[in-house]
Structure formats: structure tokens, C-alpha cells
Structure 1
Amino acid sequence: MRQESALLRAWGVGPGELERMPFDQRARLAERLRTGRLAQWAELIGRFRQMARGERARKVENATGELVGVTLGDDLSRVIPSELAGLGVPELRAVFAVRYAAGELMLYDSQGEQATGRGAVIACVDTSHSMYEAGPGGITREAWAKGCALALLDQAREAGRDFVGILFSAPGRIQVFRFPAGRSAGTDRVLDFAETFLGGGTSYQTPLSAAGELLEEEFDDTARGRGDIVMITDDDCGVTEEWMRGWNDAKRRLGFRVFGLVVGAPRVGEAGSVLEALCDNLRSVEDLTDVHAAADLFRVI
């Protein structure tokens, strides 16, 4: 029973949910997790989620960060003490008000991490044939990618943001899993997302077009922009010039960011690659036993 509880916790099923779960449902879920590929991933998934929790604890939205000097502006949260001291002198209060209105107060200047997004978090996970290849420790590229995606699901739920998992492979082949904020993710639905593998080749246009449409739909319905797309792949492929123009227009209009994670293929994403052109932030992950390779991602998303 201890092993079963640990296995379920690794997949995000908490003690409270276990207590409410009927015995036959719990038995079916445990059996599903003990068999097949899911059993091999439990430890990796648990480490990903633990790492993400630690990064969330370190993260502060809109952090002021490291102080690097003094600048001018109207942000009262960063006004230097000598400016505030003027408020204690009645004759200087009017001067303070004028300088505040003109944006000429002296403020601490800082250099911190980029502000987090507000729209949906979308993980585009490559499930082409090459993602089934195992790396160090016997961990497949798919397992690392799915572990990262499930940690991003936790990240989105913690922040009250929608999460969408898009599994993709060849042109036209995708499967979309939507997890709206404020609703139970549903363990079976999460496991369906983790287990699904499409196979075949790789196309960037298909999943990224779907992600862009989802963010545009969200913006039209709720006026929320600044979504985040995380592209996890091990391959590089071409896109048309016309599609790229439309993609860049959508990025400017909706204000979303694109993060790229190249899994187990160091040559992908090199200077001049399509993936480098698509992503605002791109990194390679060669050691698939290392869940901390993407740690800083969880401080800015």
C-alpha cells in the first residue's frame, strides 16, 4: 500500500483525493500505473514535479531583482528613500506630486527575471518515432518531454492559468488535451495525455498553428494575452515563408512567448536553424537524467 500511494503521488494524486476515491477505481488506477510505460516514468515524473515545486517557491512574479542603479519614473514601489522623505515636509509635497505626474521621481533601477505570462500555457510535445530513443539511464526522449509537460501542467494550475498539451508528429497529426483552469484535471485524462504516442515524422507548422489559434481564441473570449508556448522536440524541420510571416504577426498581436527545449539532439537548434528562429528562448537537454536542465523555465512561466 505504501508503494501504491507513492506511485499515485508521483502522478499527482494527493492523499485527499485517494481517500475520496472508491476502492475499485483506485485499484484500476494503480494497475494502470504499474503496467506499461507509465510504471517506468513514475520516478522521473516525481522528480520533475518536485523540482518545479522548488522553483515555484523561489519565483516572485514581476521581481525587482538585482539593483543596478537609479532611474526616473513614477513607480512608487521603487522610489528611493530621499524622495519619500520629501513627503514629510509640507512645502515639498506639491513638488513631489508634480514630479510624480511627470514621471520624474528618482527610482531604484533593477535587473530581474522577465515577468510571467497571463494567458494559457501550451506544451507542444514531439511524439515522432525518434522521441522513443533512450538516452543515459535508459530514459527516453519522450519520457523526459512528458515529465516536463506534466510539471508545466502543475505550474499552470498553481497560477490559475489554462493548460493545453499538444502532441504532434507528421504534418496534420496532432492530438490536443485541454485542461482549463479552475476545473479538476482528471487523473485519467492526464494519463491519456502521458500515454499517447503518435509516431511518424515531425512538423512544426501543425502544432504551432494550433497553439496560435488557441491563444487567439482565448484572447478573443477573455482579452487575456501573454500566453506561453513550450516546444519540446528532438528534430528540426522547415516552415514556409508565408507561414512564418503569419506566425510573427500573431506573436506581435497576442504577445505570447515561445520557449524551445531540444531533447537529446545537440545539433538541433544551432545558429541558423528554424527552431532558433521560432523561439524566444532555446536550450538543449543532453542528459535525460537531469530534470534541472529546464529549472529556470519554471521561474519565468
Structure 2
Amino acid sequence: MAGGERARKVENATGELIGVTLGNDLFRVIPSELANLGLPELRAVFAARYAAGELMPYDSQGEQPTGRGAVIACVDTSHSMYEAGPGGVTREAWARACALALLDQARHAGRDFVGILFSAADQLQVFRFPAGRAAGIDRILDFAETFLGGGTSYQRPLSAAGELLEKEFDDASRTRGDIVLLTDDDCGVTEDWMRAWNDAKHRLGFRVFGVAVGVPRVAEADSVLESLCDNLRSIDNLTDVQAAADLFRVI
């Protein structure tokens, strides 16, 4: 799925309309195409053209670029992540698979990748995969298989991610990194820490994507997870790989 999204990814966000193109983006299909759905005899034709990517959506151009700094996946490895969901897939397995797909995404984009495994405040392990070096299979397996257990703390892994992006900015003047927080929990942070976190986001221009794994719906608006993330989604069905497709279109 991630590879497919990368293949159809565009650098510009939706903006000024510049014409009509071919594709299967239903959100941008021109009205005359959608009108065919109202005619029973043309629905099969519409479905065939959709499958072939031959519908006519509006073409547009924008000015919002994707990230250029490091991609950092913060993966919750607390005990609750090992609870199995539909199809027998555990939250931890889904989160690791997503993190490995993000590693692949970063490699294709020529961006550094960092995997941060976390649980309780005193449990943290960092795996770095610089863009200019080969990602050794042993190191990848260590990242995929290391288990910490215990509770959940957001401050420690996110502070570590912020420090890495700060160093990247100091060393290479790179901003616009992306942090992806994969967790099934919601835990508190201090007000002082939150102020420092927001200051760092403003200074370095990084984005934070939250993925609530195995949670039926996105956390309430007053939750810590909601306030930490610029973009938050819930993954309820762990067998549906398309549930996180948009993540790979914007990172």
C-alpha cells in the first residue's frame, strides 16, 4: 500500500485549478463524470474507468511542499500494544509494520529515518538510519523485534525526537521534519514541557502525525494526543492497510 501511494504521490498540495487530467481521485472528479452514476446502464462503465484510472478529475497546483528533514517514528512498545485485534493482528505488529514502511518511504525520498521505541519514562531505544548509508538488515531486525514493555510516557520519546531535529537543523540547516507517534494510549504531559514543545515546533517547522492504533475512534478533543498532533487518525481495523494510506501521501 505504501509503495502504491508513493507512486501516485505529488509534491504540490491541492490549490489553483489548472485544467482536467486522468485519474481516479473521486474527490476531484468533474461533475459530468459523477452524473454517470445516476444512470444504471453507465455505472459499470464508471467502475471500469475508475479501476483503470481513466476518470477525469480536476488538475490543480499548489505551494505546500512535503517535508525535507528526518522522518522519525515513535513506536509505543508498552504491554497494552500486544493486545490482538480483528484478524489476530496485534497493535504492536501493525505499528512496527507502519514504522518499517516509513523507513522505506524515507529511503526513497533521500531522508534520514529514526525509529524510537518507547514505553515508560525510563525505557527508550533509538535506531538511526542515515539517508547516505545502507540500512543493514541486522539493524532493521533489531528495530523490528526489540520489546521494552511497561507503561507509556510521551515526553521522553518526543523530547528525543525534537532534540534530533534540533541537531539536524544545527548541523545541516534542515527543517520540516516529520514525527509519527504510534500508540494506543493517552498519557499526561506537564505544562512546562508542552510550552517548550510548541516553541520547538514553531522554530524547526516539523509536523507531528498521530496514529491511535486499535482505538475505535480518534481521541477526544481535550486529550493529550489530540493536542500534541497536527494530524491524528484512529486505526480500528488492523487488517485494513488502506486506513493509513493518506499518511504516505503527505510524508
Structure (1 or 2) with the larger CA radius of gyration: 1
Q: Which residue of 2 aligns with 1:149?
A: 99
Q: Which residue of 1 aligns with 2:110?
A: 160
Q: Which residue of 2 aligns with 1:195?
A: 145
Deviation string 1:16-54 (CA, Å, 9 cap, x unpaired) is xxxxxxxxxxxxxxxxxxxxxxxxxxxxxxxxxxx1110
Deviation string 1:205-245 (CA, Å, 9 cap, x unpaired) is 00000000000000000000000000000000000000000
Q: Which residue of 1 aligns with 2:157?
A: 207
CA gap 1:64/1:284 in 2 versus in 1, 3 angstroms: closer
**Alignment partner for residue 264 of structure 1, among 191, 209, 214?**
214
1:183 corresponds to 2:133: yes
CA gap 1:288/1:114 in 2 versus in 1, 3 angstroms: farther
CA distance in 2 between partners of 1:148 and 1:164 (Å): 13
TM-score by length of 2: 0.81
Find the residue that maps to 1:215 and give its secondary structure: helix
Letter of the structure 2 residue corresponding to residue 265 of structure 1: V
Asked if the contact 2:73/2:180 (under 8 Å) is kept, the reply is yes
CA gap 1:223/1:201 in 2 versus in 1, 3 angstroms: same
CA gap 1:294/1:114 in 2 versus in 1, 3 angstroms: farther
CA gap 1:274/1:111 in 2 versus in 1, 3 angstroms: farther
Letter of the structure 2 residue corresponding to residue 262 of structure 1: A
Asked if the contact 2:217/2:236 (under 8 Å) is kept, the reply is no
Letter of the structure 2 residue corresponding to residue 280 of structure 1: D
Instruction: Kindly state the Cα deviation for residue 114 of structure 1 after the two structures are TM-superposed.
Output: 4.4
Instruction: Kindly state the Cα deviation for residue 134 of structure 1 after the two structures are TM-superposed.
Output: 0.4
1:250 corresponds to 2:209: no
Asked if the contact 2:218/2:233 (under 8 Å) is kept, the reply is no
Asked if the contact 1:113/1:300 (under 8 Å) is kept, the reply is no
Asked if the contact 2:116/2:157 (under 8 Å) is kept, the reply is yes
CA distance in 1 between partners of 2:131 and 2:202 (Å): 25
Letter of the structure 2 residue corresponding to residue 148 of structure 1: C
Find the residue that maps to 2:147 and give its secondary structure: coil
Instruction: Kindly state the Cα deviation for residue 142 of structure 1 after the two structures are TM-superposed.
Output: 0.4
Instruction: Kindly state the Cα deviation for residue 270 of structure 1 after the two structures are TM-superposed.
Output: 1.7
TM-score by length of 1: 0.68
**Alignment partner for residue 4 of structure 2, among 54, 58, 63?**
54
**Alignment partner for residue 229 of structure 1, among 179, 192, 195?**
179
CA gap 1:57/1:249 in 2 versus in 1, 3 angstroms: same
Asked if the contact 2:113/2:131 (under 8 Å) is kept, the reply is yes
Deviation string 1:96-141 (CA, Å, 9 cap, x unpaired) is xxxxxxxxxxxxx957594210000000000000001000111000
CA distance in 2 between partners of 1:291 and 1:183 (Å): 29
Asked if the contact 1:114/1:300 (under 8 Å) is kept, the reply is no
Deviation string 1:68-98 (CA, Å, 9 cap, x unpaired) is 89xxxxxxxxxxxxxxxxxxxxxxxxxxxxx
Deviation string 1:175-219 (CA, Å, 9 cap, x unpaired) is 000000021110111010000110000000000000000000000
Instruction: Kindly state the Cα deviation for residue 252 of structure 1 after the two structures are TM-superposed.
Output: 0.2
Gaps of at least 5 residues in structure 2 are: 20-58
Asked if the contact 2:169/2:175 (under 8 Å) is kept, the reply is yes
CA distance in 1 between partners of 2:241 and 2:163 (Å): 30
Gaps of at least 5 residues in structure 1 are: 1-50, 70-108
CA distance in 2 between partners of 1:243 and 1:68 (Å): 45
Find the residue that maps to 1:167 and give its secondary structure: strand
CA gap 1:221/1:195 in 2 versus in 1, 3 angstroms: same
Asked if the contact 1:234/1:268 (under 8 Å) is kept, the reply is no
